[in-house]
Amino acid sequence: MRPISAAFPAARFRRLRASPALRALSQENSLSVGDLIWPVFLCDGVGVTQPVASMPGVVRRSVDLVVKAAEEAASLGIPAICLFPYTLPEVKTADCVEAWNPDNLTNRAIRAIKAAVPEIAVMTDVALDPYNSNGHDGLVVDGHILNDETVECLVRMALAQAESGADILGPSDMMDGRIGAIRQALEAAGHKHVAILSYAAKYASAFYGPFRDAVGASGALKGDKKTYQMNPANSDEALRLVERDLMAGADMVMVKPGMPYLDICRRVKDTFGAPTYAYQVSGEYAMLKGAALNGWIDGEKSMLESLMAFRRAGCDGVLTYFALEAARAIRAGRA
C-alpha cells in the first residue's frame, strides 16, 4: 500500500503533532505492561542477592527472593518471568548432568513460583551453557560442539522443566533439530500445553558479555559460539530458521539480540505473522543503563524509546531487564 498525502500546504504533518491529544490519536504503536517478559538470575542460598557488576541494578536472587520478585512482577501486570541460573563451578561438568536434575536451581524456582504466584507464566532457558564446564550451549568433544547428542540432553532438560511446572520453554542453544525433538517429547510425556518460545534467530553476538558474567559462563567458555549461532551478516538465513522452527512445533519465535536486529524482527513478523519476540540482551541494557547513570542520556525516556522500537518493528513482546522499571513508568502514564 502506497501512502497518499496532499501537497504542502494542504498537508502539514505538524498538525497531528500539535498537542498531546492529537499525538495520542495518531500514534501508530503502543507499549503495554503485557508486552514485557522479565529475565531474572538465580543463585544458591536463602535471602541472598548478588549484584551483577556489568549490569548495574541487576542482581542474582536466591529462590525465596525470586518468588518475591515474581510477586512484584505480577502485581505490576507483567505476564511472564524468565529464569536463568548461576551454577556454582563445582557443579559444572562436561556431561552437563545438572541441567536435568529435578532439584537444580531452575526447577526448584519454577515450583516455588508456581506455588506462590500461579498467575504469572514461568519461562525457562533450555541450553547447556550454565551447566557446562566448557561454557558452551552443547556437549564438547575434541573441540567440536556435538549437535545430535546435545539435542538428547536438551530434551531431558526440557522434560524436567515441564515436570516442574514451566509454562514456556525457551530453547536458546541453536542446535539443529531441537525444537522438533522437544515438541515430540513433550507430547509423548503428556505436556501438550507447554509452550515453546524458540530462540529461532540467535546471532553470535558481542552483546552477550554481561549475561555470561551473570550466569558464570564467561570464565568457562573456551573459544566462541560461531559454529552454532548465526552470522551477524545474514538475514535470509534467519527466515529459514524461523520457518523450520515453526514447522517443527514452536509456538512463538525470538530474535536475539534485539535493537541491532530490528530489521530481522520486521522481516520475521511480515513473513510469518507468528508471535514474534525480541530479547533486549545484557549488552544493550548495560549500554543504556551505563549512559543513564553517567548522565549522558535520560534513562527512563531512552528505555521506553528502545522498547517502543521493538513494537514498531513488529514484535509482540520483548524480554528486557528493564521490565520492572518500564512497567512502573507505563502504569504511571509516562510511556
Assigned domain for 93 exists: yes
Assigned domain for 151 exists: yes
**CA–CA separation, 334 vs 315, rounded Å?**
21
Residue range(s) defining the domain that contains residue 168:
32-331
Assigned domain for 13 exists: no
Decide which of 223 and 106 is more confident. Answer: 106
Closest to 167 in 3D by CA, of 103, 118, 119, 121: 121
Q: What is the pLDDT of residues 2-38, one digit of tens each?
A: 878 899 999 999 999 999 999 999 999 999 999 999 9
Does the pLDDT value for residue 335 go beyond 90? no
Mean pLDDT of the chain: 95
Q: What is the pLDDT of residues 167-199, one digit of tens each?
A: 999 999 999 999 999 999 999 999 999 999 999
Question: How confident is the model at residue 213, as a pLDDT?
Answer: 79
What proportion of the chain, given as a percentage, has pLDDT over 90?
91
The residue with cell 542474582 is 60
Q: Is 202 known to be catalytic?
A: yes
* Ranges 4-13, 118-127, 196-205, 225-234: which has the least confidence: 4-13
Assigned domain for 97 exists: yes
- CATH number (domain holding residue 77): 3.20.20.70
In the structure, how many helices (H) and strands (E) does the chain have? 11, 12
Question: How confident is the model at residue 131, as a pLDDT?
Answer: 94
User: For residue 130, what are the contacts with CB-CB under 8 A and spacing of at least 6?
Assistant: 84, 85, 86, 87, 92, 99, 215, 216, 217
Q: Find out whether 98 and 44 touch, Cβ atoms under 8 Å.
A: no
In the three-class reduction of DSSP (H, G, I as helix; E, B as strand; rest coil), residue 253 is classed as strand
Closest to 162 in 3D by CA, of 187, 127, 139: 187
Q: Find out whether 255 and 237 touch, Cβ atoms under 8 Å.
A: no
Assigned domain for 23 exists: no
User: What does R_g of the chain's alpha carbons equal in angstroms?
Assistant: 20
The dihedral formed by the CA atoms of 180, 184, 186 and 188, expressed in degrees to the nearest 10: 180
> With bands split at pLDDT 50, 70 and 90, how would you rate the model's confidence at 219?
low
Assigned domain for 129 exists: yes
The CA angle 240-241-244, to the nearest 5 degrees, is 85
Phi, psi of 141 (to 5 degrees): -135, 120
Please give the average per-residue pLDDT across 218-230, as a whole number. 85
Active-site hit among 114, 256, 269, 289: 256
Report residue 251 as a C-alpha cell: 509456538
Question: How confident is the model at residue 217, as a pLDDT?
Answer: 67
Name the residue type at position 162: A
> With bands split at pLDDT 50, 70 and 90, how would you rate the model's confidence at 218?
low
Q: What is the pLDDT of residues 279-319, one digit of tens each?
A: 999 999 999 999 999 999 999 999 999 999 999 999 999 99
Assigned domain for 2 exists: no
Assigned domain for 22 exists: no
**CA–CA separation, 22 vs 1, rounded Å?**
24
How far lies 260's CA from each of 203, 252, 274, 287, 310, in Å? 10, 20, 21, 13, 11
Closest to 156 in 3D by CA, of 129, 177, 131, 126: 126
Total domains in the chain come to 1
Q: Is 192 known to be catalytic?
A: no
* % helix, strand, coil for the chain, step of 5: 45, 20, 35
260-266 own/partner pairs: CB under 8 Å, 24+ apart: 260/205, 260/207, 260/232, 260/284, 261/201, 261/203, 262/309, 262/310, 262/313, 263/235, 263/313, 264/201, 264/235, 264/238, 265/310, 265/313, 265/314, 265/315, 266/313, 266/314
Q: Find out whether 197 and 140 touch, Cβ atoms under 8 Å.
A: no
Please give the average per-residue pLDDT across 155-166, as a whole number. 98
Does the pLDDT value for residue 58 go beyond 80? yes
User: For residue 304, what are the contacts with CB-CB under 8 A and spacing of at least 6?
Assistant: 31, 326, 329, 334, 335
DSSP assignments along 134-198, one per residue: T--SS-EETTEE-SHHHHHHHHHHHHHHHHHT-SEEEE-S--TTHHHHHHHHHHHTT-TT-EEEE
Please give the average per-residue pLDDT across 235-261, as a whole number. 98
The residue with cell 531452575 is 106
